[in-house]
């Protein structure tokens, strides 16, 4: 290992320790409100980076992450709820046989949620990737609706439109940020490997990618499956943070928000997706101010519900006007670039 690599690894470890320290502090001193937003931030990071793998890195315009989140949320919640809780919750129709009796700890439930979402992604990859471009968007959009309709109508499995209540609030800063870190590391590792390069090749020119010997269907499917895994995990974390879920929660609006994060951050850049998620989670809270009544001097402004969505959309338009390719473009954060900016004078030979 050379010196540059050592410095970079040290920098990574130091920043992880810094994040850890911050979380320890927040855990004991921050208000429940701030802790809630920190949890949401981490979940958004998981969701936006994994969405970026399909939309940004591989260039496949999917609109289905809300479906995979729903699958993950329901799967994990059904697994952590105890048989008794399920019996009480399912008042319209009793829950189907094996599901009613199972009860698992949080971690295996989350993992099963991720794997279930991946399996569904694998199955729908066959019809989904037969089509390209706009059609792909429409097919995945339709899939999201199918999952929602299923969640509403398969009452003996999902408890229908009543949803699931009384889910234990297992998600805390350690779970949410732990998964966020794992997700980001896995995805960056993937994107920087030859697998990630094959995905980028598909985005750049699918015909040329095939001519390079890339089985494009397989790589699109791989991106889709890995992305679905983390979206399933994200959905599971969200369910165990909010403690209640119902089909309405997983509407297209969720996908739309993710799209904003990924596009505003910089389609194709994981750094951009992280920044997009952080800005979205906090920006949305800060803009809450505009929905409250105010008194400036003699003028009193009434509360305007929905105002922050208007402002958010305006900001998005501004970002897209001035940074056509999002905040980061395709740029990725690296310690080298940071050190260079900070004025590292000695230029070491580039190694990979």
Partner 1 sequence: MTNIMTIKNLTVRFDALEALSSLDMEVASGSIVGLIGPNGAGKTTVFNVLSGFIRPHEGSISFHGKEIARLKPYKITSLGMSRTFQNIRLFGELSVIENVMIGFHLSYNSMFLGPLLSLFGYKKIEKEIYERAIMLLDRTGLLNLIDEKASVLPYGLQRKLEIVRAIATRPKLLLLDEPAAGMNPNEKEDLMKFITKLRDKLALTILLIEHDMHVVMKICDRITVLDYGEKIAEGSPQDIKNNQRVIEAYLGEAGVAES
- Listing DSSP states for 265-313 in one string gives HHTT-HHHHHHHHHHHHHHHHHGGGGGS-EEETTEEEPP-TTHHHHHHH
Size of the site for partner 1 (CB under 8 A): 27
CB atoms within 10 A of CB 49: 32
Q: Tell me the sheet residues that pair with 20.
A: none
Closer residue to partner 1 (CB): 330 or 344? 330
Q: Is 195 in the site for partner 1 (CB under 8 A)?
A: yes
Rounded Cα distance, 48 and 230, in Å? 10
Q: Which is nearer to partner 1, 66 or 269 (CB)?
A: 269
Nearest residue (CB) to partner 1, 28 versus 352: 352
DSSP 59: -
Q: Locate 218 and state its tokens.
A: 């397989």
Of 76-84, 148-156, 158-166, 193-201: span binding partner 1 (CB under 8 A): 193-201
Please tell me whether residue 190 binds partner 1 under the rule CB under 8 A: yes
Region 223-262 residues binding partner 1, contact defined as CB under 8 A: 226
Angle ∠(239,241,247) on CA atoms, nearest 5:
30
Binding piece for partner 1, criterion CB under 8 A, among 26-34, 61-69, 213-221, 297-305: 213-221
Residue 87 within binding range of partner 1, rule CB under 8 A: no
How far is the CA of 60 from the CAs of 48, 51, 132, 226, 232, in angstroms?
15, 10, 8, 14, 19
Contacts of 58 (CB under 8 A, 6+ apart): 199, 200, 202, 203, 219, 220, 223
* Residue 2 touches partner 1, criterion: CB under 8 A: no
Q: For partner 1, which is the closer residue by CB, 9 or 27?
A: 9
C-beta of 191 vs 239, nearer to partner 1: 191
Q: Report, in Å, the least distance between residue 183 CB and partner 1.
A: 15
* Rounded CA separation 77/83 (Å): 12
- Stretch in the footprint of partner 1 (CB under 8 A) among 170-178, 209-217, 244-252, 285-293: 209-217
Considering beta carbons, is residue 168 or 344 the nearer one to partner 1? 344
Among 194, 299, 321, 349, binds partner 1 (CB under 8 A): 194
Residue 192 touching partner 1 (CB under 8 A):
yes
Contact in structure between 216 and 206 (CB atoms under 8 Å):
yes
> Is residue 212 within the footprint of partner 1 (CB under 8 A)?
yes
Q: Compute the residue count for the chain.
A: 352
Tell the burial category of 123 from Cβ atoms under 10 Å away from its Cβ (0-12, 13-18, 19+).
exposed
Q: For residues 339 and 277, give the distance between their C-alpha atoms in angstroms, rounded to a whole number.
A: 25
Residue 149 or 211 with smaller CB distance to partner 1? 211
- 214 near partner 1, judged by CB under 8 A: yes
Residue 352 binds partner 1, judged by CB under 8 A: yes
Q: Which residues bind partner 1 (CB under 8 A)?
A: 189-190, 192-195, 197-198, 200-201, 204-205, 207-216, 218, 222, 226, 330, 352
């Amino acid at each position: 290992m050379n010196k540059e690599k050592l410095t970079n690894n040290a920098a990574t470890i130091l920043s992880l320790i810094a994040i850890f320290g911050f979380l320890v502090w927040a855990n004991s001193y921050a208000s429940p409100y701030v802790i809630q937003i920190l949890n949401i931030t981490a979940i958004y990071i998981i969701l936006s980076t994994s969405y970026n793998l399909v939309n940004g890195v591989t260039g496949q315009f999917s609109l289905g992450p809300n479906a995979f989140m729903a699958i993950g949320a329901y799967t994990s919640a059904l697994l952590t709820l105890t048989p008794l809780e399920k019996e009480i919750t399912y008042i319209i129709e009793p829950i189907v046989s094996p599901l009613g009796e199972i009860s698992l700890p949080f971690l295996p439930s989350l993992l099963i949620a991720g794997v279930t979402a991946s399996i569904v992604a694998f199955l729908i990859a066959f019809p989904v990737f037969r089509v390209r471009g706009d059609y792909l968007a429409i097919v995945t959009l339709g899939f999201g609706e199918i999952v929602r309709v299923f969640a509403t109508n398969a009452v003996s499995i999902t408890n229908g439109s009543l949803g699931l209540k009384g889910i234990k609030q297992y998600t805390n800063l350690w779970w949410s940020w732990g998964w966020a870190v794992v997700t980001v590391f896995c995805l960056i590792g993937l994107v920087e490997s030859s697998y990630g390069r094959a995905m980028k090749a598909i985005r750049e020119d699918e015909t040329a990618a095939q001519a390079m010997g890339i089985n494009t269907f397989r790589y699109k499917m791989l991106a889709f499956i890995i992305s679905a895994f983390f979206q399933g995990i994200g959905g599971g974390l969200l369910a165990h943070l909010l403690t209640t879920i119902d089909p309405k929660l997983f509407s297209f609006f969720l996908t739309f928000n993710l799209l904003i994060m990924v596009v505003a951050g910089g389609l194709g850049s994981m750094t951009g997706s992280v920044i997009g998620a952080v800005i979205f989670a906090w920006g949305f809270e800060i803009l809450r101010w505009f929905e409250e009544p105010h008194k400036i001097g003699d003028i009193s402004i009434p509360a305007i519900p929905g105002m922050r969505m208007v402002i958010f959309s305006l900001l998005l338009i501004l970002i897209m006007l001035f940074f056509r390719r999002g905040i980061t473009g395709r740029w990725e954060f690296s310690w080298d670039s940071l050190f260079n900016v900070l004025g590292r004078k000695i230029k070491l030979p580039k190694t990979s």
